[in-house]
């Protein structure tokens, strides 16, 4: 307020520590501000956060989110078992943006140090895109850097995780092909993977990789050459 404004009279609690759940300013010019106190209002109310009264169910919406899409729901109505209701299927754009950002960062890490076999994969593995997110380049590169790490571990005779990593690389290749990555690129990468694990490590893992290459070629007959 300024000296030119109309004078107003505020009513407030002088000892707010005695009324922790009561509005400290409760009237202006003898007009009550919040009849019934804070519990008369929702826990939160706005364009991005809203609540069903004080039940513990909070609805979260993002900037620019289509009104027809579902909100993210944080449900704390059962204190011992809070629930998050994901809305990626209804509004995938935020997750798609994060996947693209993670991929860009991983490629920068790889360019900064071509000998770093762990850094790019560590970045790519920091997010786990759900099936609603289509980014074949992400999955293809994740498979590539997984295969490079496998080769490094085999060379160091540190093969404890090679089996799981090989399965991950195969899964990445299959997903990349299903989402539209060049099937020849995927098949070649899976062939490289099979070669990497064949002689020094496991015929079975190599066979899995080669079979995956055959599968993607059958599922997505290449039109390029």
224 in any annotated domain: no
97 & 191 share domain: yes
Query: Is the residue at 48 inside a domain?
Result: yes
7 within a domain of the structure (yes/no) = yes
Residue 141 within a domain: yes
Asked whether residue 159 carries a pLDDT value surpassing 90, the answer given is no
- Low-confidence winner among 3-12, 74-83, 150-159 (lowest mean pLDDT): 3-12
81 and 134 together in one domain: no
Please indicate, yes or no, whether the overall pTM of this predicted structure exceeds 0.85: no
* Per-residue pLDDT tens digits for 9-52: 888 777 767 766 677 777 888 887 777 666 667 788 899 999 98
Tell me which residue range forms the domain holding 122.
93-219
pLDDT in tens, 72-130: 999 999 989 999 999 999 999 999 999 999 999 999 999 999 999 999 999 999 999 98
Task: Pick the closest to residue 128 from 156, 162, 168 (CA basis).
Answer: 168
| Last-in-domain residue among 25, 55, 87 | 87
59-68, 85-94, 200-209 — which is least confidently predicted?
200-209
Tally of structural domains, the chain: 3
Residue 221 has pLDDT above 80, yes or no: yes
Do residue 2 and residue 28 come from a single domain? yes
């Amino acid at each position: 307020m300024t000296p030119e404004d109309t004078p107003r009279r505020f009513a407030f609690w002088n000892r707010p520590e005695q009324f922790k759940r009561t509005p400290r300013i409760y009237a202006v010019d003898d007009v009550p501000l919040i009849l019934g106190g804070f519990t008369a209002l929702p826990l939160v109310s706005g364009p991005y956060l809203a609540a069903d009264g004080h039940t513990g169910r909070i609805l979260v919406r993002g900037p620019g989110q289509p009104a027809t899409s579902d909100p993210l729901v944080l449900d704390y109505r059962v204190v011992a078992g809070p629930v998050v209701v994901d809305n990626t299927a209804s509004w995938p754009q935020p997750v798609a943006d994060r996947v693209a950002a993670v991929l860009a960062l991983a490629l920068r890490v790889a360019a900064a140090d071509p000998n770093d076999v762990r850094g790019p994969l560590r970045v790519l593995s920091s997010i786990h895109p759900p099936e609603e997110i289509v980014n074949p380049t992400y999955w293809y590169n994740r498979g590539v850097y997984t295969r490079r790490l496998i080769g490094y571990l085999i060379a160091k005779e540190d093969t404890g995780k090679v089996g799981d990593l090989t399965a991950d690389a195969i899964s990445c290749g299959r997903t990349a092909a299903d989402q539209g990555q060049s099937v020849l690129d995927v098949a070649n990468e899976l062939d490289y993977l099979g070669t990497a694990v064949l002689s020094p490590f496991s015929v079975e893992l190599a066979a899995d990789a080669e079979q995956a290459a055959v599968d993607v070629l059958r599922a997505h007959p290449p039109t390029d050459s």
